[in-house]
């Protein structure tokens, strides 16, 4: 038998991500997306695959080439699939017949089209399109401007840039409807507002959308659910402008609209809940008001591509539904009902990052990942709890490599809060070994490490490192009080939680070498890495990624700075003293740990000037530091950046720790 090898950063080129399962109404046909990284072309390629969940035959590939094909959605009769493809340049809506033939392009929008939603009778598809005022839904290449000279960017609003989309180019996200047979399209919305398409009512009369229609959008952070009449365009607001609502889905009889949302009681730390609007009584009610359960998938990772979190998925009885929830280091499938029933339908140590029921209550297709399993699709028999694996997309790869397992740990903080995390032993660990430890800290801070595959952790474990990662206060998955506890206390109890975790690991795992500790994290995790090395010298090496170092400048340069600073630090520019006290840069004189700084040039969430300030301050004080700048990359580099840059990033991390901890 051939000995298995350890994993490498470059193995991202070999791994396949399977996501967004969509089960047809017949409960048999399932289409999903498989994504790979193309090394030579240095890009991603995604394709539609089909599987019969009853026969459990080998998946059949439905689209081909080097393009990205995603967002597959079944027609009501199950004979066609609408999807988005960039094969013609920008992403457009295509329709593929199940019985074969070429996919037919439906839209030709100047800036692309997304989010296809079928009408109940299957004759039309609603979709989203980004348009400038007065711009048509169709484009003629000969009419496009040929002058490519740079032009000034005029800015008159605060929300003029975003990490995801760059600088605002004057486009507004509109909802349109296209006739599947004739290709005739018309706008359903217009004006200087962004609308996000949600779902179509079962009688075909209304389309639900979400939007913020307030006048002062710079100071507005809500989202309301609206009904738009598909013919008259008459609009009705279902929610009361009290918070952030979305993921609207209809019960089969059209009486109820279920949605996810919250009333922003704790700003962006507020738990998402399930809300029901009764179309007959016109009453709006929160079903999970008294529950500390977080609705949705808030697990963090660095591998899956194109994962989709659905809203509530109704059963045919118009009374029951399924949904995903984030709970204590797992994402799980829950059953709920209009009577307020809530109980887990699939509760295990795993990350469920995809869910589709086809409108049934007896079975579901779920996408599941675990620390040593990148991800596959499974058929869940809800009544019996049986699980049958449908795909094995990485089976050949997994036969060649050895992956590290993750051992859960639970302990009490110094002030007696329950804390939870994991420790990975190095791959090929032998009893008696003394090994270095790398502490990993997640971003957010309102996110959650989970029982999920993390390529970065596996790369470190393959290099001989133990890996420690926990969910300190501020993390999702442990209730409202826990997630809210970090606000106004950055560098306080959250820092103590992380140090308590290190103390726990050293006290309980004698294979860790106390003199060879490293620390790394990104975004909030980068902030905390900077904070740690400014408050203790117990770590011998550190890698800070897409970090925050100075809250004073962050206020004005981040795409979210002016409100995120207020929400998280509980301070604005009127209180420079507080902002500086929470800034790692204020403690640069105490930083003695060799620091590698990784940052993306086009990171608008934590702009690169945050890294520049820290690097110059360290070098000016003759401290050991190195600065790596990643071109053409944003805040999402580690998750969806250019393949070669993702590989380089991983190798820089392991290389730095190898230099200082080996």
Which of 136, 92, 96, 133 minimizes the C-alpha distance to 114? 92
Q: Is the dihedral of CA 497, 498, 503, 506 positive or negative?
A: positive
- Residue 568: strand, helix, or coil: helix
Output phi, psi for 578, to 5 deg. Answer: -65, -45
State the DSSP string of 322-354.
EEEEEETTEEEEEEEETT--EEEEE-SSSEEEE
Name the percent of the chain in helix, strand, coil, to the closest 5.
Answer: 20, 35, 45
State the DSSP string of 622-641.
T--EEEEEETT--TTHHHHS
Q: Which two three-digit tokens encode residue 363?
A: 């079975």
> How far is Cα of residue 450 from the mean position of the Cα atoms in its chain?
13
- What radius of gyration do the chain's Cα atoms show? 25
What is the rounded CA–CA span in Å between residue 125 and residue 184? 11
State the DSSP string of 178-221.
EETTT--EEES--SSS-EEEEEE-TTSSEEEEEE---S-GGG--
What is the rounded CA–CA span in Å between residue 359 and residue 216? 39
- Residue 452: strand, helix, or coil: coil
CB 226 within 8 Å of CB 192: no
What is the rounded CA–CA span in Å between residue 81 and residue 100? 11
Q: Is the peptide bond before 314 cis (omega within 30 degrees of 0)?
A: no
State the DSSP string of 484-542.
HTTTT-TTTHHHHHHHHHHHHHHHH-TTEEEEEEEEEEETHHHHHHHHHHTT----SEE
**CA triplet 593, 596, 600: central angle to 5 degrees?**
145
Quick one: DSSP state of residue 442?
-
CB 17 within 8 Å of CB 411: no
Which of 390, 281, 269, 273 minimizes the C-alpha distance to 323? 273
Which of 579, 538, 430, 560 minimizes the C-alpha distance to 163? 560
Region label for 340, one of left (φ > 0), alpha (ψ between -120 and 50) or beta (otherwise): left
Output phi, psi for 13, to 5 deg. Answer: -70, -20
Q: Is the dihedral of CA 65, 67, 68, 74 positive or negative?
A: negative
What is the rounded CA–CA span in Å between residue 630 and residue 641? 10
Q: Which two three-digit tokens encode residue 276?
A: 């029901």
What is the rounded CA–CA span in Å between residue 434 and residue 360? 52
Output phi, psi for 16, to 5 deg. Answer: -115, 135
Helices 455-462 and 643-661: crossing angle in degrees, nearest 10, is 40
CB 387 within 8 Å of CB 377: no
The catalytic residue positions are: 523, 635
**CA triplet 100, 103, 106: central angle to 5 degrees?**
140
What is the rounded CA–CA span in Å between residue 139 and residue 185? 12
């Amino acid at each position: 038998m051939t000995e298995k090898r350890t994993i490498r950063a470059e193995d991202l080129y070999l791994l396949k991500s399977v996501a967004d399962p969509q089960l047809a109404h017949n409960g048999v046909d399932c289409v999903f997306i498989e994504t790979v990284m193309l090394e030579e072309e240095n890009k991603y390629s995604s394709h539609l695959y089909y599987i019969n969940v009853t026969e459990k035959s080998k998946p059949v590939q439905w689209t081909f080439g080097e393009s990205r094909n995603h967002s597959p959605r079944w027609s009501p009769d199950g004979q066609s699939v609408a999807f988005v493809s960039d094969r013609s340049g920008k992403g457009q809506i295509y329709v593929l017949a199940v019985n074969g033939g070429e996919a037919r392009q439906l839209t030709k929008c100047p800036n692309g089209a997304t989010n296809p939603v079928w009408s109940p009778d299957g004759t039309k598809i609603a979709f989203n399109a980004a348009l400038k005022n007065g711009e048509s839904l169709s484009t003629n290449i000969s009419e496009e401007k040929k002058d490519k000279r740079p032009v000034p960017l005029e800015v008159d609003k605060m929300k003029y840039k975003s990490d995801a989309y760059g600088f605002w180019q004057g486009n507004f996200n509109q909802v349109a409807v296209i006739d599947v047979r004739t290709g005739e399209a018309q706008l359903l919305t217009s004006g200087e507002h962004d609308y996000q398409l949600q779902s179509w009512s079962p009688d075909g009369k209304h389309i639900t959308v979400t939007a913020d229609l307030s006048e002062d959008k710079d100071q507005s952070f809500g989202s309301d659910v609206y009904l738009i009449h598909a013919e008259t365009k008459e609009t009705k607001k279902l929610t009361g402008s009290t918070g952030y609502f979305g993921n609207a889905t209809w019960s089969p009889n059209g009486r109820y609209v279920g949605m996810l949302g919250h009333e922003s009681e704790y700003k962006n730390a507020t738990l998402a809940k399930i809300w029901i609007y009764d179309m007959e009584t016109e009453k709006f009610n929160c079903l999970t008001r008294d529950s500390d359960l977080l609705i949705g998938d808030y697990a963090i990772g660095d591998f899956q591509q194109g994962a989709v979190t659905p809203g509530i998925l109704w059963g045919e009885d118009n009374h029951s539904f399924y949904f995903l929830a984030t709970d204590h280091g797992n994402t799980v499938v829950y059953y709920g009902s209009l009577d307020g029933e809530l109980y887990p339908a699939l509760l295990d140590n795993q990350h469920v990052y995809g869910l589709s029921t086809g409108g049934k209550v007896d079975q579901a297709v779920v996408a599941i990942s675990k620390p040593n399993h990148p991800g596959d699709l499974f058929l869940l028999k809800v009544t019996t709890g049986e699980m049958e694996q449908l795909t094995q997309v990485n089976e050949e790869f997994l036969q060649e490599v050895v992956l590290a397992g993750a051992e859960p740990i639970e302990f009490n903080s110094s002030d007696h809060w329950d804390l939870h995390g994991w420790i990975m032993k190095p791959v090929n660990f032998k009893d008696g070994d003394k090994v270095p430890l790398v502490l990993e800290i997640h971003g957010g801070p309102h996110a959650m490490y989970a029982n999920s595959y993390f390529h970065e952790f596996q790369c470190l474990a393959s290099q001989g490192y133990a890996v420690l990662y926990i969910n300190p206060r501020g993390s999702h998955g442990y209730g409202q009080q826990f997630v809210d506890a970090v606000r106004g206390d950055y560098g306080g109890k959250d820092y103590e939680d992380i140090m308590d975790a290190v103390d726990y690991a050293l006290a309980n795992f004698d294979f860790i070498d106390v003199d060879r500790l490293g620390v790394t994290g990104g975004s909030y995790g980068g902030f905390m890495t900077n904070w740690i090395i400014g408050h203790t010298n117990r770590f011998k090496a550190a890698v800070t990624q897409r970090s925050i170092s100075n809250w004073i400048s962050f206020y004005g340069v981040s795409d979210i700075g002016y409100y995120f600073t207020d929400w998280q630090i509980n301070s604005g520019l009127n209180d420079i003293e507080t902002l500086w006290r929470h800034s790692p840069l204020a403690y640069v004189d105490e930083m003695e740990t060799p620091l590698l700084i990784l940052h993306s040039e086009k990171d608008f969430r934590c702009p690169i000037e945050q890294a520049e300030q820290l690097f110059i301050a360290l070098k000016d004080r003759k401290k050991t530091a190195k600065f790596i700048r990643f071109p053409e990359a944003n805040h999402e580099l580690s998750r969806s950046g250019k393949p070669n840059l993702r590989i380089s990033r991983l190798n820089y991390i392991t290389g730095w720790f190898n230099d200082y901890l080996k």
